[in-house]
Structure 1
Amino acid sequence: MILEGAARESRGRRIARGILAVAYSLAGMAHLARPGGFVAITPDWVPTPELVVGLTGVAEIAGAVGLMIAPLRRAAGVGLALYAFCVWPANFHHALNDIPLNGVHFGWWYHGPRLALQPVIIWWALWASGMTDWPFRGRGGRTN
């Protein structure tokens, strides 16, 4: 169910949205300021990785801003969820090929949780933007 108005939102959803917006803003700035590590984990089949990394940084910042603007919120949530889904192959590429970043090899202690949490990040974008109430629908008569 799509929420009809901010009055029906819980404090938790507003906080989750703010945290997600800050996280995506920081990630977007990192993509733009220090693209080397992101380019390094980009799969070989992605054309012009430098350009793609730059565009993903812009997309992350735009999505973060959109989350905070009510008329754009739902579109931003869908966009960020799709973004998180689309960059998942880079996370797999990083993990499966043991690509070092700044000379550091990350083990499965890092890659395992990162890969497993990607669906949570996708859900988070949809829930924080009000695109879904799942799994909280119907609890205590509130949609969340």
Structure 2
Amino acid sequence: MEPLITLVVVSGLALAANALWLHRERGIELALRAGLCAMFLLTGTVHFVGMRAELVDMVPGGLPLPSPELLVTVSGVLELAGALGMLVPPLVPWAGLGLSGLLVAMFPANLAWALSEPDLPWWDQLLPRTAAQLLFLAATLTLVRLTRHRLPARHLDRVGSPMP
């Protein structure tokens, strides 16, 4: 629930600040960048402090990895790198693509956890958790679409044509 609240509140505050004071074009882009940056800073940080043990427990068994701890560390580093990529305009579409891939790759762990834990709060149960993941993915992909003109031309056929 905290990541969703962070995304919505920070994006909303950034959108309001843009409307009231900044008056910059691409206000939606700036709001999404701010919200996603804050959200992934939060989720990346808890891979190392606060919830590390719970995240290690969420890793599905049977993955061909040396250890679940390594997967949690790597995914945390990738989330933090993606969050920081939101701060550098030329990196935003790449960060958005990377974070989108990470959300898709981590969904099976979220799914397995939601199905295996009997006493989860309502927001961590299967349907709300899936809806939140889809919202996060929609936010990252929307940001990629808004910033795709910054991608080299040879990659545009995968994402779409450049914006005018």
Q: Is the 8 Å Cα contact of residues 22 and 64 (structure 1) preserved in structure 2?
A: yes
Residue 56 of structure 1 aligns to a residue whose secondary structure is helix
1:73/1:109 Cα in 2 relative to 1: closer, same or farther (>3 Å)? closer
Pair 1:65 & 2:88 matched: no
Residue 25 of structure 1 is aligned with which of 38, 41, 44? 41
Which sits farther off after the overlay, 74-83 or 108-117?
108-117
Task: Please state how far the C-alpha of 1:108 moved relative to its aligned partner.
Answer: 4.9
Corresponding position of 1:123: 138
Q: TM-score, normalised by structure 2?
A: 0.67
Higher percent of residues as helix: 2
1:110 to 2:130 alignment: no
Pairwise CA distance, 1:16: 1.8
**Unmatched tracts of structure 2, length 5 or more:** 1-23, 149-162
Query: Contact 1:95–1:108 at 8 Å: present in 2 too?
Result: no
Q: Which has the higher contact order (CA 8 A, sep 6+)?
A: 1
Q: Is the 8 A contact 1:77 1:131 kept in 2?
A: no
The aligned length equals 121
- Tell me the alpha carbon deviations over residues 23-46 of structure 1, each in whole angstroms, 9 at most, x when there is no partner: 101111110124101011110023
Percent identity over paired residues: 31
**Helix, strand or coil: the match of 1:32?**
coil
* Contact 1:13–1:128 (8 Å) recurs in 2: yes
The structure 1 segments of at least 4 consecutive aligned residues displaced by more than 2 Å after TM superposition are: 107-110, 128-132
1:127 to 1:56, Cα distance in 2 relative to 1, 3 A: same
Gaps of 5+ in 1: 1-7, 100-104, 133-142
What TM-score comes out, normalization by structure 1 length? 0.75
Task: Indicate whether 1:52 and 2:71 are aligned.
Answer: yes
